[in-house]
Amino acid sequence: MKKFIYLYFLALTTIISCQKPQDEILPEVTIEVKSVNQTEINLIVIAPSASEVELCKDLSQCVKRRVINGSAEFTFAQLASNTSYSFQATAFFSTGEKKSELIEVSTRALAVALKAAQVNLYSAILQGEIYNPENLEYHFEYGMQANNLEHKTNKSSGHGIVSTLVQNLNVRQNYFYRIVLTIDNQAFPSDVVSFKTLGDKPEIKDLQVIYADTLTMELVFLVKSNLLVSEVSLMCRYPIFSLDPITVNPDSNWTEVRFQIPVRTGASSLLVLQAENHLVPYLSN
């Protein structure tokens, strides 16, 4: 009886000792963004129970820190403005190591182009904001194509909200521009924004034909010049004649125009009514 009990105990002990212990699950490793400016990114790596953390920028520039109270803080300085960087952390535990997910963080632009002000027929004020406590050198670049900003303003110095007047623009034209900073002989351009100068083709509406008598009729209609000096002309194809054009002042309102023309009893007339801009500068008083 004693021998049987001893053998049973020995077999049970052998079975338990052959079981493989389960792998330990390591805590999650995460990266949090603390602050971002134009040339610097501050990050915090959360790694509970880790002894040390390594954080790599763009999988190449790596820095190690000791973990205190479950986290470690990192600062990456002298970065390019308005640029995206990738970061990944590796935490070292007593039983192994674990990586975080790869994240992307973008530095802020040193300057941004703002909405153009006082946009007119032939001019506009380009605006930008420079995020710096001291004056920086800047200029504006603009043109009619976003990928070809062929015009440049004179260089100036400033910070905060800055602006420059540009003239001799084309009427009814889309323009694109950006502000460019010069720091240590390096150019830092902002994103490109756009605006459209004023002015448009003239419009005609609400045409009426009024017969004054059997020999005369009158054409009455409304014209909008769309801020450009415009002329309205009338030509008759049968019988052939034309009337002197009527000038419509540059305005954004509708203006009533009247043409009085002779008619022939029992005959048809083909009339051509036309409004056009002369695209000449208009200076208001």
Task: Give residue 278's pLDDT.
Answer: 67
Among 119, 169, 168, 175, which Cα is nearest to 146's? 175
Q: How far is CA 172 from the centre of its chain?
A: 21
The tally of CA atoms less than 13 A away on the side-chain side of residue 38 is: 13
Residue 19's pLDDT is 46
- Give me the pLDDT at residue 252, please: 84
Report yes or no: 186 and 136 within 8 Å, Cβ to Cβ.
no
Residues 6+ apart with CB under 8 A from 136: 110, 111, 130, 157, 158, 159, 181, 182, 183
Supply angle C-alpha 30, 33, 36, rounded to 5. Answer: 160
pLDDT at 13 over 50: no
132-187 residue pLDDT tens: 888 999 999 999 999 999 999 999 999 999 999 999 999 889 999 999 999 888 88
For every residue of 188-237, which 3-state class applies, written as one string?
A: EECCCEEEECCCCCCEEEEEEEEECCCCEEEEEEEEECCCCCEEEEEEEE
pLDDT tens-digit profile of 229-249? 889 999 888 778 888 999 988
- For residue 264, give the amino acid letter: R
pTM attached to this predicted model: 0.59
The pLDDT of 43-70, averaged and rounded, is 95
Model pLDDT, residue 236: 87
Query: What percentage of residues in the chain have a pLDDT greater than 70?
Result: 89
Phi, psi (deg, nearest 5) at residue 251: -155, 170
Domains and CATH numbers, the chain: 28-106 (2.60.40.10), 111-196 (2.60.40.10), 203-277 (2.60.40)
N- to C-terminal Cα separation, the chain: 125
> Are 38 and 109 a contacting pair, CB within 8 Å?
yes
Q: What pLDDT digit, counting tens, does each position of 248-262 carry?
A: 888 889 999 999 888
Average pLDDT rounded to a whole number, residues 120-127: 95
Burial label for 200, CB within 10 Å (0-12, 13-18, 19+), is middle
Q: Given this model, what pLDDT does residue 228 score? A: 87
Q: What is the pLDDT of residue 282?
A: 44
Residue of 165, 161, 160 lying closest to 177 (CA atoms): 165
